[in-house]
Amino acid sequence: MDLYKEIEKIIENLEDKNNELEVLEFIQKTEGYISKDMIKFVADKMDKFDFSIENTIKFYPHLKGEGKQIIEVKVCTHTACRNNGSGKILEEAKKILGVEVDGITPDRKYKLITQRCLGQCGKGPNVKIGSEIYNKMTPEILANLLKK
């Protein structure tokens, strides 16, 4: 499928030539997010400014732009956490998110990374999700936190 051709077709068939929502939803469904290139392409084809397309993406929570923040899931794999079972936590995180270390989930919501110490060694295994550190992590708690 030529994505650009499909998008052009959708734009041509729009009932409201000024409403890009349907186009953006199609891109989101196909690509998982809307890249800067796509924004440019849609803006060009619809004779709009890039920022106007970007504003539409920001307005609708189900649309994800390239720059929309990806939440980092940092599993501490340093000595103390490792001794407390962080290996099992990392495996569980891979399973839940369906990605390897440094991978980004297809919906671009999470990125899984490992960390050498989160500074709370006595309370491990520790996982930082976004800006929050969670101590004494278990596979069950992690599954709950990352529930989509």
Q: How far is the CB of 81 from ligand FES (least distance, A)?
A: 3
76 binds ligand FES (CB under 6 A): yes
CA angle 113, 129, 134 (to 5 degrees): 115
Member of 45, 48, 68, 78 binding ligand FES (CB under 6 A): 78
74 binds ligand FES (CB under 6 A): no
Residue 114 near residue 101, CB atoms below 8 Å: yes
CB closer to ligand FES out of 52 and 120 = 120
CB closer to ligand FES out of 30 and 79 = 79
Burial of 81 (0-12, 13-18, 19+ CB in 10 A): buried
Residues 83-122 binding ligand FES (CB under 6 A) are 117-121
Residue 10 near residue 26, CB atoms below 8 Å: yes
Member of 33, 42, 57, 124 binding ligand FES (CB under 6 A): 124
What is 48-79 written as a DSSP string?
--HHHHHHHHHH-TT--BTTSPPEEEEEE-SH
Site residues for ligand FES per CB under 6 A: 76, 78-81, 117-121, 124, 126
